[in-house]
Amino acid sequence: MNKENQMTMTTCAGEIKLYLGGTGTAVIDWGDGSESETHDLIPDYDLEIMGHGIKHEYSDEVAHTITISGSDTTFLKSWENQLTALDVSRNIALKGLVVCYANELTELDVSKNTALTNLWCYANKLTKLDVSRNSALTDLDCSGNLLTELDISKNSVLTDLNCSGNLLTELDVSKNSVLTDLNCSVNQLTELYVIKNSALVTLSCFDNKLMKLDVSKNSVLTDLWCSENQLTELDMSKNTALTNLWCSDNQLTELDISKNTALTCLDCSRNQLTGLDISANTALTWLSCDKNALTTLDMSRNTALNVINHDISTNLLKEPHLNKEDLNNASGLAKADSKMTMTTLAKDVEIGLGGSGTAVVNWGDGSESKVYELHSDNQYFSYSYSLEHEYSDKEIVHVITVSGKNIRTLVCSILCRDNALTELYVNENTVLEWLDCYNSQLTTLDVSANKTLTHLSCENNQLTTLDVSSNTALTTLLCRENELTTLDVSRNTALTDLSCMGNKLAELDVSRNSALIYLYCGKNTLTALDVSNNTSMRVLCCDYNLLTVDALNALFETLPNNETEYTWILDIEGNPGTETCDKSIAEKKGWEVD
């Protein structure tokens, strides 16, 4: 292989997993004296197509330097691998270095990677990042680092920028005219000018030191998070497309939202407002305006309103059209907080929450409960958005309680961190849409009341049963590495991604799951598999089951035809019939058989 296209990385992990994209092959030297491996590269048109990745385990606990050689390796994905060094300077073909996040990198040189379009390097320890040579960059996420400056003046085609959770004191986005999503929250910015960013759709700049914010030129803005600053005024008259406005914890004395008729969520709590007119905001469904100085509040025209902050009475209401008693009795307006509880054996825990409004977390150790503002439903949490707690008492078991009206995302396993959960109850949260609770010690999980759930990840637990019959909105179900003997997904017709590897399943019926694209059912005891109704499928991993020659040939006959230019993956390794089955049946249909 051409040495000029090599990439190297140093890891301290006992196990590492990589994803590579491109054309041709790549040779990997794992740096531990084992034989180098040659792998076929998968086109990087779709990140999810690279389902199983390339895994390697080390027998010792020392640092290893991995070398990857391949002239057409255009995509590298290496996250949560405890990387302390990464050198991609010799691979000028690299376009997508989208995942080197959640490692321990202190430096990263991408100056030679001029074709780079995507760079996600968040949750590392970077103190500087030079992207001046990366003029093709469209998506940059460098959040959760230690950056004190960031120059993006040469990145004129940048559309997505997340630099939150750093130490930035200034940020110039005047050259980024096509920017649509900007998150610069949790920094030390005193100024932010977005008047040149007319394409901006989402702006998150909360928890800075901004005294002014001009969004008059951002006419297509739909989401604005500017809480926890020092704003004394905010003109939203030009932002008629706005649907979500979070401007709490500022110094606003007035707020005119009469032009924002599309507004559905408003949080203007903890300001100095003496009046608030929401009569024009008939689409409003969520309102928090507590801890101001309001003397009147007319909600008679807001018939769509279904969540009102329960501390609304902390204002000075004298003539409210709905008083506190009315709110508590009104159907759908002041519904009680739903509670979720989890029992942990860990000494320090980390959870992620998403939704709207606020959440109250009681860590179960006698410490004071804390109120957290939910800024978004984004399920991909960087360290800036996760909630961490360390226990100092001698108790072994703690029960954490999370309360809130509109918590739609719960992540109990951020960055594969083991929170050692033994129990988790989410029955009361009927609006939950995203639940991550993998890498714990759960023996049971009841999601029967969570009918709005679209994503469930409960991998690497000790579950013996899992009932998802009530979760008809599910699109992603990840339940691998448990002890399931049966799995009924007949009512989950919206399912596109199913991973049930590493269980004890003797059969699996996916005939009702016609939308299924990715199916990972390896390391079970399946003796037959029929995917004739799964016409959307393009990745199937059924390795290490009990599929005979006849069973595999029958499976091949049920595969859909690949008439696209992309590679569809079929992994049948480790079955009794793998060596002697007729792979040509699948290959003639356009599948790549591993």
Q: pLDDT, tens digit, for every residue of 97-116? A: 655 767 889 999 999 999 99
CA dihedral 407, 409, 411, 415 (to 10 degrees): -130
Q: What percent of the chain has pLDDT over 90?
A: 53
Please check whether residue 208 lies inside any domain of the structure.
no
Say if residue 409's pLDDT is above 60: yes
pLDDT for the residue numbered 340: 79
Q: Which residue has the tokens 């849409």?
A: 433
Average pLDDT (176-187) is 95
Instruction: Please check whether residue 148 is in contact with residue 154, taking contact to mean a CB–CB distance below 8 angstroms.
Output: no
- Of 418, 443, 462, the last residue of a domain is 462
d(CA 195, CA 588): 55
Please check whether residue 60 lies inside any domain of the structure.
yes
Say if residue 267's pLDDT is above 60: yes
Q: How many domains does the chain have?
A: 2
- Of 63, 90, 105, the last residue of a domain is 105
Contacts of 334 (CB under 8 A, 6+ apart): 308, 310, 327, 328
The band of 194, judged by pLDDT with boundaries at 50, 70 and 90, is: very high
Q: For the chain, what is the mean pLDDT?
A: 84
Please check whether residue 343 lies inside any domain of the structure.
yes
Residues 492-545 have pLDDT tens digits of: 988 999 999 999 999 999 999 999 999 999 999 999 999 999 999 999 999 999
Say if residue 44's pLDDT is above 60: no
Residues 11-42 have pLDDT tens digits of: 988 888 888 888 888 899 999 999 999 988 87
pLDDT for the residue numbered 403: 82
Q: Which two tokens stand for residue 435?
A: 């639940």
Domain holding 8, by residue range, is 1-105
- Position with higher pLDDT, 417 vs 394: 394
Instruction: Please check whether residue 505 is in contact with residue 528, taking contact to mean a CB–CB distance below 8 angstroms.
Output: no
Please check whether residue 427 lies inside any domain of the structure.
yes
Please check whether residue 163 lies inside any domain of the structure.
no
- Of 45, 72, 105, the last residue of a domain is 105
User: CB atoms < 10 A from the CB of 396, how many?
Assistant: 10
Provide the sign of the torsion angle of the four alpha carbons 538, 539, 542, 547, taken in this order.
positive
Say if residue 78's pLDDT is above 90: no
Please check whether residue 590 lies inside any domain of the structure.
no
- Position with higher pLDDT, 257 vs 382: 257
pLDDT for the residue numbered 103: 82
Please check whether residue 278 lies inside any domain of the structure.
no
Say if residue 429's pLDDT is above 90: no
As to burial, measured by CB atoms within 10 angstroms (0-12 exposed, 13-18 middle, 19+ buried), residue 70 is buried
Average pLDDT (463-476) is 93
Please check whether residue 315 lies inside any domain of the structure.
no
d(CA 247, CA 272): 12
